Amino acid sequence: MSDPTNQPKNKKQQLLDTALTLFVNQGIYATSTASIAKTAGVANGTLFHHFPSKNALVLELYKNIKRDFSMQIAPIELDAAQLEQQTKLIWQQAINWALSNADQQQFCLQVMQYQPLSSQTKAQIFSEEFGFLKEIILFGQQHQLIANYPLSLMLESAHGQFLTSSQFFINNTDLAQDTQYSEAAFNLFWKSFTN
């Protein structure tokens, strides 16, 4: 019986991996489907067999990355007395994931500016994969620990703060382990939501 870890990647995953590299290095807009297929060593028809359009490829890659990210966040039972510390733990897990997956994080930043994917689509993916953040906000509001602002605005703001902080630490890796900076990044995030 053959070892599955020694099997070549399936063509769909090969295309996604190649697309990620090209998108990060060239930008989503500047990367053509033809260049993705050529770099992946497959025919154009093979790419279109798996992805009917470039937008479909971008969307699937984005969903996969967000799903992988959300799976790295350890589930917790929320406790009002510990909510700030629990949120801080999740924040640090998220920053650590971004530092370990800089290309994926860079791609996610590009997707935020990629107009062919609607803001509604991006918001839906975020909502589906980051239910834990919604739970934290609603729990905090219920216990009067988090300001009672509109949920959709708070989720968007939280996502933006995470993207900004993670990009800062990716660009300044020496500061990622500096307690002063890591504490400040979380405090900026937390204090923007608390009463």
CB 107 within 8 A of CB 23: yes
From the DSSP assignment, how many helices (H) and strands (E) are in the chain?
A: 11, 0
| Whether residue 116 sits in one domain with residue 35 | no
Domain count, the chain: 2
| Whether residue 67 sits in one domain with residue 45 | no
Mean pLDDT on 72-100: 93
Written as six digits, the tokens of 98 are: 């971004």
For 56-68, how does the pLDDT look when each residue is reduced to its tens digit (9 = 90+)? 999 999 999 999 9
What pLDDT does 152 receive? 87
Q: Burial level of 191, CB count in 10 A (0-12/13-18/19+)? A: exposed
Domain that holds residue 122: 61-191
For 124-179, how does the pLDDT look when each residue is reduced to its tens digit (9 = 90+)? 887 777 888 999 999 999 999 999 999 989 988 998 899 899 999 999 999 998 99
For 4-58, how does the pLDDT look when each residue is reduced to its tens digit (9 = 90+)? 444 456 999 999 999 999 999 999 999 999 999 999 999 999 999 999 999 999 9
Mean pLDDT on 181-194: 95
| Whether residue 74 sits in one domain with residue 17 | no
- Is the pLDDT confidence value at 2 over 50? no
Distance CA 59, CA 66 (A): 11
